Structure 1
Amino acid sequence: MDVTAYLDRIGAAPAASLHDLHRAHLTTVPFENLDIHRDERISLDPDDLFDKIVRRRRGGFCYELNGLFALLLEQLGHTVTRVAARVYGDDGRLGPPFDHLALIVDGDRLADVGFGDHSTYPLSVTDRTVQDDPGGRFLVEETADGDLRVLRDGRPAYLIETRPRELRDFAATCWYQQTSPASHFTRGTVCTLLTGDGRITISGKTLIRTVAGSRTETVLDGQEALRDAYREHFGISLGG
């Protein structure tokens, strides 16, 4: 992997800390599921991930973003454990196994650049007290089964199984997320990016800006306006 090109993509220096790499990634590489709705199948092959995210300057969802970020961190000398997580829905129910890919870095830090709206910086997986982050107040608690439950502002976000995994272990659920009517990724498009003062999101045809806690919504009128917004706010060119 061309580490220099990847670092240029996220605007980070080779000596950047995990703390700074994490935030740099979140502010430059969007969380997005656009390919699913363009009938373009997602590949977890490392070369394909690098081509999409670095060369073509696109984003992706958890398997893509955390999958490639793990390789960058390893190239920079970090130890990375890929772990499977199940995401809590709005109804409090857990999603399927391998629902989410997260990373435990250097034995203690939970790195996650592929969850959309989550922590700005890595969290400690051994600290059982509340961890304050620009993204909210996070708590990592151990369950009776030895799993790790991550809570944000008092609400469960996801449940981590700490057994080490390989990226290929997520292939079946990645396919499910792209194809199943039960997957929330097939129900509508989303593209979102952390900004210096908030977040910018396109959900369906609605442009959502959050600045210092204040939210505004603008309906994008027509496909041309939608394409222009993707290009302006995320650097994504989808063509005609």
Structure 2
Amino acid sequence: MAEVEDLIEDVAIRLPEAGVIRARGQRRRTRARAVRGGAAGALVLAAAGAWGLLLPADGPEARQTVATTTANPFRVDGEVVMRPADELPEYAIWHWKESDGLPEGAGPRSDALPQVGLDGACPASFVPADEPGQQRYSVLYTGSDHALAQHRVIEYEATATARSQVTELRGEMTRCGLRSASPTAREKEEGSSVWSGTVADGRTLRVSVRRWESWVSVEEVLHGTPAG
């Protein structure tokens, strides 16, 4: 439409044509979307930065640290979370069941770190390793063909202590002949580091380790067969 002219107290007001108005409105909406998009991008970058801050930065032990949450994954609603038997690695092969105690001749059992190796599989690691104030929880599992497994969760008084104990555990596993191995999909999602190798009697020992602040979780699986 043509420009509209009106007189209000001798002041002429001219309204632009409808097409011009629509064009201006479109430009405003475009600018608004750009601003919102920029704000959203800033939020994404901020979130990425926050995620980066959550990622562990303590060297080799970074892979043993759960960095996906600020909530303790090992204690939920006041209860310490232990691994159900049917969620242990290679359940389809060994058919894990919770056990009240070690089978006769299975060797020492300990909740402490850096001790590792069921059935005497890593005897060198069975040295005094208690730390003041630690709280220990463990579940033992037996499987077919004399296979053994254990899940330990240990709470230390300080994150630094937990970190140093995991470092010592790494050394013990190396001395046992274990090497870094590929985690399962679940272990990868949880942030676990996996070690595996052949021990003295020819069986495979597999150890999964993860840490959250002052908490450490260790899952050991000793494949079956040799039995005294």
The answer, yes or no, to whether TM exceeds 0.5 is no
**Structure 1 length as normaliser, TM-score?**
0.28
The TM-score normalised by the length of structure 2 is 0.29
Structure 1 or 2: more helix by fraction: 2
Higher Cα radius of gyration: 2
